[in-house]
Amino acid sequence: MELLCPAGNLPALKTAIDNGADAVYIGLKDDTNARHFAGLNFNDGKLAKGADYVHERGKKLHVAINTFAHANGEERWKKAVDNAVAIGTDALIIADLGVLDYAATKYPDVERHVSVQASTTNLEAIKFFKNNFDVNRVVLPRVLSVQQVRQLAKNSPVPLEVFAFGSLCIMAEGRCYLSSYMTGESPNTVGACSPAKYVRWQETDQGLESRLNNVLIDRYQEDENAGYPTLCKGRFDVDGDVYHALEEPTSLNTLELIPELMAMGIVSVKIEGRQRSPAYVEQVAKTWRMAIDRCKQNSEDFQVDGAWMKTLANLSEGSQTTLGAYHRKWQ
Amino acid sequence: MKFSLGPNLFFWPKKDVEQFYQQAKNSSADIIYLGETVCSKRRELRAKDWLGLGRELAQDTNKQIVISTMTLLESPAEIVTLKKLCDNGDLLVEANDLSAVQIMHDLNMPFVAGPAINCYNLSTLKVLIKQGMTRWLMPVELSGDWLKTILAQAVDENIRDKFECEVFSWGYLPLAYSARCFTARSEDRAKDDCQYCCINYPQGRKMNSREGEQVFVLNGIQTMSAYQYNLINEVAQLNDMGVDIIRVSADSDKAFTQLDKFRTQLSTPTKHTLATDKECNGFWHQIAGMSVA
């Protein structure tokens, strides 16, 4: 089972590899990837350097080209595929059917992974990607329970990758327009959810307020930790009840599922967080490396180390972690 | 231009559904979509009931009847039901997930690509046409300019006659799908113990900001817009760019009045003022979806 770590820049990429990642995934410096943030990602020069660093150490590089190609800009997505292939990427992570078609036709020998943004949640959908684009891997959205993942893993004609740790997207990825409804920009079209340029913080008599494009997302009392106003993690009012109507600020953490995921033949566990710092990448990669290695030695007696959980909780939103949809009760 | 009645996205008691479609028989809709698209636990009508109702509508009217299918399919049982609906023998099917696209392709049958299929560009449209798609409803977050670009490209590539283009033009917008049931959560229960509570909210539950601004509607595992999308002022534009079908969502029996209004707007255009605290058209104008241009 591969440990796949995020890298938003060259230092993070090196840190990931140095701390035990088997592979890293990165994005190019434009809107062709789902973490299109200022100051993040790889230009052509950095891309080549990153590829060299990874390959010299016998590890793998995945390039995410996983937003949906714009009607008047399809060439940009094709160019991104060309560039990634040119520097010798080991895999392309793609969501758009047109882009997949292009990659499969032009570069049949370069691995194609179906991005989480393509919302592939069942066997027939996996077959669709296998039949049409001969894909090598499918990344499952964070909406399935462990039982459902197991069922899919048993029958899937394509190896599966799952999300293991990081910010928790609670909607089926690629099928969420909440951000564009509120701001005009969404992960699918722009590569960002709840974009920073629409965020406003304001001290008021009632507490610290966070707003997204002027909509009040949350209001914090003095003793509360204020988090980034991702719109699905605010407190809202449903018939007079004020609560986290969609989700609390929390992160996914599946350390305890490692033996199960390994037993079902999941080929890769993915760490979320290309937007996070090299320090985050270092801690997460190190912890997950230790956990996976210990499970490989003896999966039957595998137990999650309290120190690992503490390290990961400190890196999590609101210092809280959850098993998310893997655990049916969360649903 | 044709006018369609989209599938009802809420969960209603069986008798209300039947009553609604009795009304739909006499409505001005040319096309009626029906079926469960949100949650497989909603079983007031089962697959055979939806197909039965569809066939009754097809027999009693001259309207085209289309069976709409689920968007988020996670279990083998859901796929079994999906196959039953797809392989129905006579009614056209709206695919809302690539699983349905795969099944329709295996059956060698034409299908409609619904709003939850991520088709953002011409290359994707071509992939879907190759699979058997004969009608396309673009993702609701896309704009008029975006659509115009794709339709023009389709003309240039001589494939515009391969598909009809339908646009979601009125109603609460389906915006997101989750593993979690937000209606059950609003009643402090898990999805496995939901007690089918969506049935108590025939218009979903409004989720407001703490300042009272209406933000979203909770509809089971689906999150919808709190404002009703309304492209009444864009009807002429839709017509000019070659859109074939205007879709009115079956939010309530108000949809029937809206169907008439849209039809009238085509023959006698009038400027309508949208209520900014109830309606929106931002997506079409490539600004925040909840706003009015």
What gap in Å lies between CA A85 and CA B219, rounded to an integer? Answer: 43
In B, minimum Cα distance to A150 occurs at B75
Residues of A in contact with B206 (CB under 8 A): 238-239
**Predicted pLDDT of residue A328:** 87
Kindly report the three-state secondary structure assignment for every residue of chain B.
Answer: CEEEECCCCCCCCHHHHHHHHHHHHCCCCCEEEECCCCCCCCCCCCHHHHHHHHHHHHHHCCCEEEEECCCCCCCHHHHHHHHHHHCCCCCEEEECCHHHHHHHHHHCCCEEECCCCCCCCHHHHHHHHHHCEEEEECCCCCCHHHHHHHHHHHHHCCCHHHCEEEEEEEEEEEEEEECCCHHHHHCCCCHHHCCCHHHHCCCCEEEECCCCCEEEEEECCEEEEEEEEECHHHHHHHHHCCCCEEEECCCCCHHHHHHHHHHHHHHCCCCCCCCCCCEECHHHHCCCCCCCC
Rounded to 5°, angle at Cα B264 from B262 and B269: 90
Amino acid identity, position B173: L
**Closest residue to A172, CB basis, from B72, B139, B225:** B72
**Strand blocks (E) in A20-159:** 23-27, 60-65, 91-94, 111-114, 137-139
Residues of B in contact with A169 (CB under 8 A): none
Picking from A70, A42, A36, the residue whose alpha carbon sits closest to that of residue A187 is A36
* Binary contact (B210, A325; C-beta < 8 A): no
Q: How far is CA B107 from the centre of its chain?
A: 23
Mean pLDDT of B118-138: 98
Whether residue B165 lies within 8 A of chain A, CB to CB, comes out as no
**Closest residue to B210, CB basis, from A72, A219, A239:** A219
* Binary contact (B191, A72; C-beta < 8 A): no
pLDDT at B50 over 90: yes
Mean pLDDT of B155-159: 98
User: Cα–Cα distances in Å, from B198 out to A330, B224, B252?
Assistant: 18, 14, 15
Residues of A in contact with B93 (CB under 8 A): none
In A, minimum Cα distance to B206 occurs at A238
pLDDT at B116 over 90: yes
Mean pLDDT of A235-249: 95
* Residue B221 half-sphere exposure toward CB, CA atoms < 13 A: 28
Structure tokens at A171: 């909607």
* Binary contact (B286, A184; C-beta < 8 A): yes
**Predicted pLDDT of residue A37:** 87
- Count Cβ atoms below 10 Å from residue B181 Cβ, excluding itself: 25
Reported for A219-225, long-range contacts at CB under 8 A and 24+ positions apart, including other chains, are A219/B210, A225/A318, A225/A319
DSSP string of A202-252, one letter each residue? EEETTEEEEEETTEEEEEE-TTSPP----GGGS-EEETTEEE-SS--S-EE
pLDDT at B278 over 90: yes
Contact A291, A262 (CB under 8 A): no
Picking from A160, A139, A150, the residue whose alpha carbon sits closest to that of residue A260 is A150
* Binary contact (B191, A328; C-beta < 8 A): yes
What gap in Å lies between CA A269 and CA B284, rounded to an integer? Answer: 38
Picking from A96, A246, A145, the residue whose alpha carbon sits closest to that of residue B177 is A246
**Predicted pLDDT of residue A39:** 86
Please provide the average confidence, as pLDDT, over all residues in chain B.
98
- Count Cβ atoms below 10 Å from residue A245 Cβ, excluding itself: 22
What gap in Å lies between CA B289 and CA B291, rounded to an integer? Answer: 6
* Residue B86 half-sphere exposure toward CB, CA atoms < 13 A: 27
* Binary contact (B99, A236; C-beta < 8 A): no
| Per-residue pLDDT tens over the stretch A151-190 | 999 999 999 999 999 988 899 999 999 999 999 999 999 9
Q: What is residue A42's three-state secondary structure?
A: strand
Complex ipTM, two decimals?
0.97
**Predicted pLDDT of residue B159:** 98
* Binary contact (B192, A331; C-beta < 8 A): yes
**Closest residue to A171, CB basis, from B177, B213, B290:** B177
In A, minimum Cα distance to B180 occurs at A331
Mutate to test the interface with A, among B223, B224, B241, B284 (most CBs of A within 10 A): B223
What percentage of chain B has pLDDT greater than the value 70? 100
pLDDT at A221 over 80: yes
**Confidence bin at A317 (pLDDT 50/70/90):** confident
Residues of A in contact with B191 (CB under 8 A): 328, 331
| Per-residue pLDDT tens over the stretch B83-110 | 999 999 999 999 999 999 999 999 999 9
Structure tokens at B34: 């029906």
Q: How far is CA A309 from the centre of its chain?
A: 20
Mean pLDDT of A234-239: 97
pLDDT at A205 over 80: yes
**Predicted pLDDT of residue A319:** 76
Residues of B in contact with A324 (CB under 8 A): 179
Residues of B in contact with A235 (CB under 8 A): 210
**Predicted pLDDT of residue A250:** 87
pLDDT at A225 over 90: no
* Binary contact (A68, B179; C-beta < 8 A): no
**Confidence bin at B146 (pLDDT 50/70/90):** very high
Mean pLDDT of B247-259: 98
What percentage of chain A has pLDDT greater than the value 90? 88
pLDDT at A148 over 80: yes
B273: exposed, middle or buried (Cβ count in 10 Å: 0-12, 13-18, 19+): exposed
What percentage of chain B has pLDDT greater than the value 90? 100
**Predicted pLDDT of residue A318:** 76
| Per-residue pLDDT tens over the stretch A245-255 | 999 988 899 99
* Binary contact (A178, B179; C-beta < 8 A): no
**Closest residue to A125, CB basis, from B98, B206, B289:** B98
What gap in Å lies between CA B239 and CA B266, rounded to an integer? Answer: 8
What gap in Å lies between CA B46 and CA B51, rounded to an integer? Answer: 9
Whether residue B23 lies within 8 A of chain A, CB to CB, comes out as no
> Strands A251-253, A241-243: parallel, antiparallel or unpaired by DSSP?
unpaired
Q: Is B17 left (phi over 0), alpha (psi -120 to 50) or beta?
A: alpha
pLDDT at A114 over 90: yes
Amino acid identity, position B25: K
Mutate to test the interface with B, among A32, A75, A124 (most CBs of B within 10 A): A124
Distance spanning both ends of chain A, measured CA to CA: 27
**Closest residue to A178, CB basis, from B101, B186, B223:** B223
* Binary contact (B120, A215; C-beta < 8 A): no
**Closest residue to B289, CB basis, from A119, A177, A324:** A177
**Closest residue to B73, CB basis, from A97, A121, A236:** A121
**Confidence bin at A321 (pLDDT 50/70/90):** confident
What percentage of chain A has pLDDT greater than the value 70? 100
Residues of B in contact with A219 (CB under 8 A): 210
**Predicted pLDDT of residue A34:** 86
| Per-residue pLDDT tens over the stretch B223-240 | 999 999 999 999 999 999
Contact B44, B72 (CB under 8 A): no
Residue B11 Cα, gap to closest chain A Cα (Å): 19
Q: Name A200's bridge partners.
A: A211
